[in-house]
Amino acid sequence: MATLLETEGLTKRFGGITATEDVSISIAAGEIRGLIGPNGAGKTTLVNLITGIYPPSAGEIRLAGERLTGLPPHLVARRGLLRTFQVCRLFGNLSVRENLLLPYLARGSAALAEGSARARELLELTKLTRLADAPAKELSGGQRALLQVASGFMLPELRCYVLDEPFAGINPVIKEEIIELILEANRSRGLTFVIVSHEMAIMRRLCHSISVLAQGHVVSEGTLDEVAGRHEVIAAYLGKGWA
Amino acid sequence: MFTTELFVQTLIAGVTIGVLYALMALGITFIYSIVKMINWAMGEFYMIGSYLQYMLVVSLLGPDLWYLAIPIAGLGVFILGAIVEPILIKPMFTRSIERKDDYATVVTIALLLLLRNLATGLGGPYQRTPGSNLPTVMLGPLPQSGARVAAFVFALVAIALFYLLLRKTWFGLALRATAQSRVGVETAGVNVLRLDQMAFGIGVALAGIAGALLAPVFLVFPTNGVVTTVKGFEIIVIGGLGSIPGALIAGVLLGVVESLGAAFISSPYQNVYGFLLVIAILLVRPTGLFGERGRLV
């Protein structure tokens, strides 16, 4: 399958600290890629680099062959690469519906009808229809996480969706709903996903392959079962004495 | 001496001027909400609004068409703000500036000095007035200055339009979302830097409109924005930084407290009553009436 998202030698330094170094990954169109690693491995930094939040110190990012390196986040999003945040960044004072419609803001009022129809579908799919006009801050933590993930599906040109810890701290019912959303979008639209999570059981269900990060480097790649037994992965999680 | 008539008249005067102060405060708090910076040069945009009003009325439109000059002055200040923002403010976000607050403080104070000195250099230090041939208005048995009543009515219209822009338009939705999370809006594909430019223009235009409306009341001179700016900041402390309803309510509150204090205690200390109110609010509620601790969203 053709490569959709690739990074080459991606490095980010904050002063004297190197958060990621020489990270090269290649993700195929339609793939669900997991990104795992112990805390501080550089997963969120990598997500921030890919989505334009941080400019890289070195290296390249390409989406379907187009260079994204150095583009601001809104232009990265317009090219179809979207993300969610580990700390849910919903707009608490806006209604649930308005939160969903945000990706349409840059498109002018002509796209409004299309956006509204899509928002209605997503509200039904996420069972949030009855809360559509309530401020998002009134949602439970799980519902917020669900809404955050769902809002990305509003972006018409979405090709690659990066989810940073989408399952952290939410109840099993909503976890299942998020899993279903991801699987359905992957099946029906062929969407590519990059998922950062510590929930290995879910990652096993969802991900076609896994990249393991440790101390800013990719130390292993393969299916979850393949990487789980590798020395470098065990060492990254448990220390070198266990590997 | 206390009379009910004097009390009501003073109250009306306080509310009238308070709404105009609130217009200024709205501009400051709106820019802060979106661009996350304090614009210390707001008084100078107020001053430019008042000069534009003066020039339009005296040289072009004449005193009878003073009301046409108000939106033109507001538009002029908006355009100036939209030109200034990409040059001075945008680098705060596009370059690796660590202390954005400090940067914004330095550049807007530099802008303040530049605009004030330009006004003095170009127009001299003189006090001017566009004049007003509006008759005194009777509110019940109480006479009110026509210019003040007109300024009050126009300020209410400006505030209503601003409210409609924020609440009823797509652009307003983008602005409200940006006030809550700049990164969140950016990652939804919205160009936040363009919104900053528009927000800065709108914020300074509110100050410019206040300047244009008060030109016949407080006169036109290079430092005429100082007092109103100080009031604007007092209002923000009272109402809470980043709170638009807070700016409105605190504006009226400040206007009323100052007017009542001046009328019934001692008029030379008019400005002191406002500061006493600020101190009282800070003691009781340090975040202001409607402010939030560590406003994030």
A98:B173 CB<8 A? yes
Nearest CA distance, A45 vs chain B (angstrom)? 15
> The tokens of B266 are what?
């001692």
Cβ proximity of B31 and B229 under 8 Å: no
What DSSP line would sit under B76-87, residue for residue?
HHHHHHHHHIII
Question: Which of A72, A83, A102 has its CB closest to that of B177?
Answer: A102
Question: Which of B176, B181, B190 has its CB closest to that of A106?
Answer: B190
Start-to-end C-alpha separation, chain B: 49
CB pairs under 8 A between A and B: 80
Nearest CA in chain A to B195: A106
Q: CA A149, CA A168: separation in Å to the nearest integer?
A: 13
Tens digit of pLDDT for each residue in B206-225? 999 999 999 988 889 999 98
Task: Give the A window 75-94 contacts with B, CB below 8 Å.
Answer: 76-78, 82-83, 85, 89-94
What averages of pLDDT result for each successive group of 10 residues across chain A (243 residues)? 91 90 93 92 93 93 93 92 84 90 76 84 90 92 90 88 91 92 92 93 93 91 87 82 62
Q: What is the pTM of this model?
A: 0.85
pLDDT of residue A233: 84
- The overall longest dimension of chain A from CA atoms, in Å, is 61
pLDDT of residue A73: 92
pLDDT of residue A104: 81
Does B187 contact A at CB distance below 8 Å? yes
A73:B183 CB<8 A? yes
Report ipTM for this prediction. 0.80
Residues of A in contact with B245 (CB under 8 A): none
pLDDT of residue B295: 47
- Reported residue count of chain B is 297
Question: Which of A72, A92, A105 has its CB closest to that of B297?
Answer: A92
> The tokens of B132 are what?
């007003």
A106:B191 CB<8 A? yes
Residues of A in contact with B183 (CB under 8 A): 53, 73, 85, 89
Does B190 contact A at CB distance below 8 Å? yes
B189:A92 CB<8 A? no
Does A54 contact B at CB distance below 8 Å? no
Which residue ranges in chain B fall short of pLDDT 70? 1, 293-297
Query: What SS3 string covers B187-207?
Result: CCCCCHHHHHHHHHHHHHHHH
> The tokens of B122 are what?
């170009």
Q: CA B81, CA B41: separation in Å to the nearest integer?
A: 11
A74:B183 CB<8 A? no
- Residue B62 neighbours by CB distance under 10 Å: 13
Amino acid at site B254 = L
